[in-house]
Every structure is written in structure tokens, then in C-alpha cells.
Amino acid sequence: MFQACMAAILGGMQQPSHLSSEPCAPSAWGCACAPWRARRGFLLAGSAAAMGLATAPVAAQVQVGGASGLRKLVPAETLEGAATDQYQQLLAKARAQGALAGDSNPQLQRLRAIARRLIPYTAQWNPRANAWRWEVNLIGSKEINAFCMPGGKIAFYTGIIDQLQLTDDEIAMIMGHEMAHALREHSREQLAKNQATSIGISLGAQLLGLGDLGNAAARLGGQLLSLKFSRGDESEADLVGLELAARAGYNPQASVSLWRKMGQATGDRGGLEFLSTHPAGPERIRELERNIPRVEGLYEAARRG
């Protein structure tokens, strides 16, 4: 009943029409297909972006569900700001420990080169991505982990690259998957669900502006890295990431080799936080195999240039 009432009421809510942000590059960068540059960890995009919920692009080859109206209860800009704060705290801690890779690090340069190829296709899945200050960093740790926080804040741990001996194509699959979580706003939706339950907020109070979900999102930014996504979220991130990588010219077959490596790593090595939230089962691989034919044409077109 709660979900049915919420869906009915939220369907009529209006969303903000634009995002106000300070321009981060010349206006020529306003298109998602415009060039991207790296500058001290940032991949800067144009500031012109349409505000809205993540929806599948018209030309999408993979099939995913529509965005949930529940996420409207948590302002996207509030969550992205909280994510930026947490990300900077994480980098500061890594820097203090001597674990943050410098700009000249070959592995970091490799990651940023892959990101530059993926990013131009992100706004097709969420127009807010045009305004995100994309950032890619590498943290020295044996931990097998990687993530992309709301607003495009990406981090890889050296453990996931070194222990799994990842190829560029496999890295692109991981990066695309993590980008997809941010683009499809899975954290935003999960926080909205958590807060609607824990605060015990009434729909009437929220719609009258008396609710506290927006402020809660800012306070709970520290929970972003510990959120558990649903199986549906994981499947969606797999497919959207697969398409992002294929459009960028990365071999979609690498998605299968990646998760086979993940499966082999399960139970064999320590520090598998990534695998605790990203289980590498046979059904996951079968779902990817079913969808590879959908994106192979994109991959071949990208290779032809």
C-alpha cells in the first residue's frame, strides 16, 4: 500500500528544471561528444546540462527499467555534494598514508585514458553527467575494490588491477559498471528508501516541505560507500556499463572474462569487499552473454572509428 500510494503521488511531482553550477570549461565543451581533458585528477565537462531523472536513451541497445520516482525525495545536487565531500576525505586519508597515486603514475594514467573514452557517452543515460566534475584516482591497497560515487567521483584500488591482472577492456567493464550505478542514481534511490523507512516520514509532510530527506542525504554521505545495491541494480549496472564500454571501443567479451576472474578470486584472497557487493555467479555471466550480441555492433563501429 505504501509503495502504491507513493507511486501515485510522486507521479505528479515536478522536478527541478535546471542545475545551477559554476562553468568549468569554455562553452565549446557543452556537448557530451566534445573533447575531454585531464587536469590534476579532474575530467572536466561543460556546465550546460538538462536536469532530470536517469532514463534509458532512445538509441540504447540494452534493455533496462525506468527510473523510480522515489528518488525524487533526495535532491540529486545534495547527494552529489555529500559524495564530493566524502570523496575528498577519502583522498586526504590516502594522501596522508602515502597511498594516493600521483598524476605521473602509469596505472593512474591508464585509468584516466579509459575514463576519457567512456565519459562522452554517459550523458545519454543521465543528462546531469554533462555538468559533473569527473575525477579519477588510484589508491595503493591490496583491496579488490573500485567505485564511482554520485557526481562522477571514481576511485580504483591497485589490488583490483594487480591481483586480477586486468586488461584495458576488463578495466573498462568495471569502470562502466561503476559509472552506471552513478548514472542510474542507485545510491540516491537506496538512500531515499532507507530514510523514508528510518525517519518514518509521512508523504504528506514531505510534499508540504516538512520532510527531512534532503538534509538527511547530506548527513548520510558517509554511508555512500557502504550501500548495498539490489540484484536489479547490479544487473542494470552490468548492462549499462557493457554498452558504455562497447560504445567507447572496448571488447564486450571482456565482461565475461572479467567476471570469471572475479569468480576465481572469491574465497581465494583477502580484502574482497568488492565481491561481497558484486557477486560473480554463473547467472551474472549468462546475462552478460545474452546481451553481448546487442552491443557488438557498437563495438565494431567504434573500432572502425
Q: Does position 58 have pLDDT exceeding 80, yes or no?
A: no
Of 50-54, 115-119, 223-227, the range with the lowest mean pLDDT is: 50-54
Is 178 catalytic? The answer is yes
User: Is the pLDDT assigned to residue 187 strictly greater than 80?
Assistant: yes
Q: How far apart are CA 86 and CA 50, in angstroms?
A: 25
Model confidence at 191: pLDDT above 60? yes
Annotated catalytic residue, options 77, 80, 178, 234? 178
pTM: 0.74
- Among 176, 134, 165, 168, smallest CA distance to 41 is for 134
Asked whether 44 and 36 are in contact (CB, 8 A), the reply is yes
What pLDDT band is residue 197 in, cutting at 50, 70 and 90? low
Secondary structure (3-state) at 194: helix
Contact predicate 194/224, CB 8 Å? no
Is 90 exceeded by the pLDDT of residue 265? no
For the stretch 24-53, pLDDT in tens is: 332 222 233 333 333 344 454 433 333 344
Q: Say if residue 270's pLDDT is above 60.
A: no
Q: How far apart are CA 167 and CA 236, in angstroms?
A: 23
Q: Is the pLDDT of residue 16 over 70?
A: no
Predicted local confidence at residue 10, as pLDDT: 36
For cell 543521465, name the residue.
Answer: 126
Q: Count helices and strands (H / E) in the chain.
A: 12, 5
- Mean pLDDT (the chain) is 76
What pLDDT, on the 0 to 100 scale, is given for residue 192?
75
Tell me what the mean pLDDT of segment 247-273 comes to.
81
What was the pLDDT predicted at 28?
A: 27
Domain ranges of the chain: 72-304
Q: Alpha helix locations (H) across 148-225? A: 158-162, 168-183, 186-198, 203-207, 213-219
